Structure 1
Amino acid sequence: MVGTRLKDVAERAGVSIKTASNVVRGQGRVGDHTRERVLRAVAELGYQPNTSARHLRTGRSGIIAFAVPDLTAPYFAELAAQVITAAKKRGRTVLIEDTRGDPAEELRIACGLSDPLIDGVLLSPLGLDQAALAARERHIPLVLLGEQSYELPVDHVLIDNAAAARRATEHLLSLGRRRIAAVGRPAGPVYATTDQRMYGYLTALHDAGVPHDPRLVPDTPAFSRPAGAAAVRTLLALDAPPDALFCFNDQLAAGALRAAHEHGLKIPDDLAVVGFDDVEEARFSVPSLTTIAPDKKGIAELALDALLRGIDADGQGPSPVLHFADFELMVRESTRPASAATSGRTGA
């Protein structure tokens, strides 16, 4: 509706103008039911805040940046959707950035240089240089996501990757599998995510008294379907091939399932497979994929709340916090027949 005012939104929702303003701006304490009424009124009336006026009045635009290393990766695409949803609930607009893992691009975005109007940045870094970030001249509110470890005075949202990997491996061990391969470790430099998932895998084997066979950890150059398929072909050529796979993401697992099919293996009878990320593909693959499901909605909510606190405090808030989101092991057909599938929840 042309010319819709905030007053019109407030009247439609049956709330005060201040309450409507708080919802639209993502500020103040507003109950979920009231927030939903206001947002419904915003949608019905087509109300659009004047971000230019807001910026002049408050110095804030209501725009935040969310930067990921690869937006084509299903996990990051699904997480971005959750961030957008969480931001809308708080009256914020999200600018999505794809860094391709380029340290220079990650630093540029972390410094708020991608857009002069953004109020803060959510960043999932891959190659970001800690020293360069610590020395940055412009300190825009920043929250980090993911498992890369940085000694920086910013909030950080993640899941316990080691615990999740241990849970996945323990599930395979509970099925009586002992030749469990880990698919996802590269031959070159290892990122924190890979390192932590490898640690959880090895810990589960050690605790179960199962010797680790290095041949069951093939070089895997990328978290991709072709890399997963290539790794499984290498594993199946061994004199004693694996009876189970723990793949470090669902794309690797998808490639693994394809390679297993090409070799005439039955899943899970001949080879049980567990992935990581619980992307939509995992639920619709044949067989459906057992996988670790990070709480993407929880990650987005934690990250948005932490960032908005930083924005409201103008960078003078309390000490930075590590925020741990939950995860679940979703048990599906790739480790158990569909009729017996269940899901087990564990805390991070």
Structure 2
Amino acid sequence: MRVSLKDVASHVGVSVKTVSNVVNNHPHVAPAMRERVQRAIDELGYRPNLTARHLRKGRTGIIALAVPELGNPYFAELAAEVIDAAAEHDYTVLLDHTGGRRDRELLVSQGFRVRAIDGLILSPIELETEDLRERTERAPLVLLGEREYDLPYDHIAIDNVAAARQAVRHLIDLGRREIAFLGARRGRSQPAHLRLRGWREELSSAGLLADDRLVAATDGWGHADGAAAMARLLRAGRRPDAVFAYNDLIAIGAMRVLAEHGLRVPEDVAVVGFDDVVEGRYGTVTLTSVSPDKAAIARQAVEAVLAGLRGEDHEPRKVQAGYRLVERESTLGRR
């Protein structure tokens, strides 16, 4: 049978309120009493009924996280961080996959599964400002990612332009001059435009030509997209001495094609990715990459949702999370 607060209280010989104060980590409990109660909790195997606790507050205890692509390691790693951050507040995370499609992002943002969740963390790709301006759902919404919105919602992202500029500056400092950008998107507004902008700005700042013939568009975010983009450049007679890729998967796909063409990384072509996913750290050539602080992004997103649930009145914030450039073999070689 499930052990209750009353069972623990009877075992210790104290009130149910005292046990509740220990379980909820209230500060006004004497250390000796806290130790006695905690020992009884451990011995009896008491586990708090989180569902009942949330229901008493009129909540479900569930936060939804909707991302474009769960198969993308960046979003999988970010989801794990959000789950950990939410668990610290006794919340469960419901994961949703939008495929980066406007109709599915719109469905989620406008209240899909609203009765099942207390708040939503959304990483949109296709949603426009007007889509979200018309949102009537009252559950707190927190936005992630590079899309820019002038809306009354907290928005957490890294400075993609500055991060891209740092990546390109690293390549320039290594003496690279023909730097390609892989991962521009075709025919629609996409987050890639900020990283492409950083590529252009840093090249121009260094007095180098931002040659559009070295910009390769992709339809998706994966290995195959990077491989196809790199192959197109080489077939067109473009032989860059460096590549800055929209993300790590595109970079890894590009490195495969470079190897197939007998080009060495980094001796012939240095490569930098973005996202610092685990896969890039364990290839034959480890990948230099921009590493967003995923733990901070997740923590700030969860805390913003919970602040909204508490009804805290604050101006919507645009929060910039940290990042760093992690230099590895794809630009430095083996040391």
Distance, in Å, in 2 between the alignment partners of 1:131 and 1:7 is: 54
- Residue segments in structure 2 that go unaligned for 5+ positions in a row: 13-17, 27-33
Cα distance change of structure 1 residues 17 and 202 upon mapping to structure 2, 3 Å threshold: same
How far, CA to CA, are the matches of 1:46 and 1:93 in structure 2?
20
Match of 2:320 among 324, 330, 335: 324
Deviations 1:151-184 (A, max 9, x none): 2111010000000000000000000000000000
| Structure 1: stretches of 5+ with no match in the other structure | 24-33, 340-348
Name the SS for the 1:116 alignment partner: helix
1-structure distance, mates of 2:112, 2:183:
33
Choose from 20, 27, 37 the match for 1:17. Answer: 20
Amino acid at match of 2:307: R
| Further displaced range: 125-134 or 288-297 | 125-134
* Distance in 2 between residues matched to 1:208 and 1:19, nearest whole Å: 60
The answer to whether residue 208 in structure 2 is matched with residue 213 in structure 1 is: no
Check whether the contact 2:3–2:45 (CA below 8 A) recurs between aligned residues.
Answer: no
Q: Which whole-Å CA distance do the structure 1 matches of 2:260 and 2:146 have between them?
A: 34
Which residue of structure 2 lines up, in the alignment, with residue 160 of structure 1? 159
Shift of 1:45: 3.5
Which residue does 1:223 correspond to in 2? Answer: 221
Q: Which amino acid aligns with 1:331?
A: E
Cα distance in 1, alignment partners of residues 226 and 218 from structure 2 = 7
Question: Equivalents in 1 of 2:129, 2:45: separation in Å?
Answer: 46
After superposition, the CA RMSD in angstroms is 2.4
Q: Which moves more between the two structures, 228-237 or 197-206?
A: 228-237
**Matching residue of 1:345:** none
Structure 2 residue aligned with 1:104: 103
1:291-302 equivalences in 2 (<5 Å): 291-302=289-300
1:274 maps to what in 2? Answer: 272
Separation in 1 of the partners of 2:124 and 2:260? 36
- The change in CA–CA distance for 1:46 and 1:279 in structure 2 (over 3 A counts) is farther
Q: In structure 1, give the amino acid aligned to 2:47.
A: Y
Distance 1:307 1:2 in 2: 31
Residue number in structure 2 paired with 1:120: 119
Letter in structure 2 aligned against 1:80: A
Residue identity in the other structure for 1:60: R
Q: What corresponds to 2:248 in structure 1?
A: 250
How many residues were matched structurally? Answer: 315
Instruction: Quote the residue 2:86 is aligned against.
Output: 87
SS of corresponding position for 2:187: coil
The question of 1:78 aligning with 2:81 is answered: no
Distance 2:186 2:122 in 1: 26
Q: Distance in 1 between matches of 2:192 and 2:66?
A: 20
Residue of structure 1 in register with 2:131 after alignment: 132
CA distance in 2, matches of 1:167, 1:47: 48
1:8 offset after TM fit, Å? 4.8
SS in 1 for 2:255: helix
> CA separation in 2, counterparts of 1:239 and 1:104?
39
For 1:105 and 1:8, the matched residues in 2 are separated by 47
Asked if 2 retains the 8 angstrom alpha-carbon contact of 1:250 and 1:282, the reply is: yes
Q: Offset of 1:240 from its aligned partner?
A: 4.8
Describe the SS at the equivalent of 1:183: strand
Tell me if the contact between 1:111 and 1:139 (Cα under 8 Å) persists in the aligned partners.
no
Moved more, 227-236 or 87-96: 227-236
Question: Cα deviations across residues 268-311 of structure 1 (Å, max 9, x unaligned)?
Answer: 00010000000000101110000000000010011111111111
Q: SS state of the match for residue 290, structure 2? A: strand
Query: What code does the residue aligned with 2:130 have?
Result: A
Question: Could you tell me how far apart the structure 1 residues matched to 2:231 and 2:108 are?
Answer: 39
Q: TM-score, normalised by structure 1?
A: 0.84
Q: Secondary structure at the match of 1:156?
A: strand
**Structure 1 65/218 Cα, relative in aligned 2: closer, same or farther at 3 Å?**
same
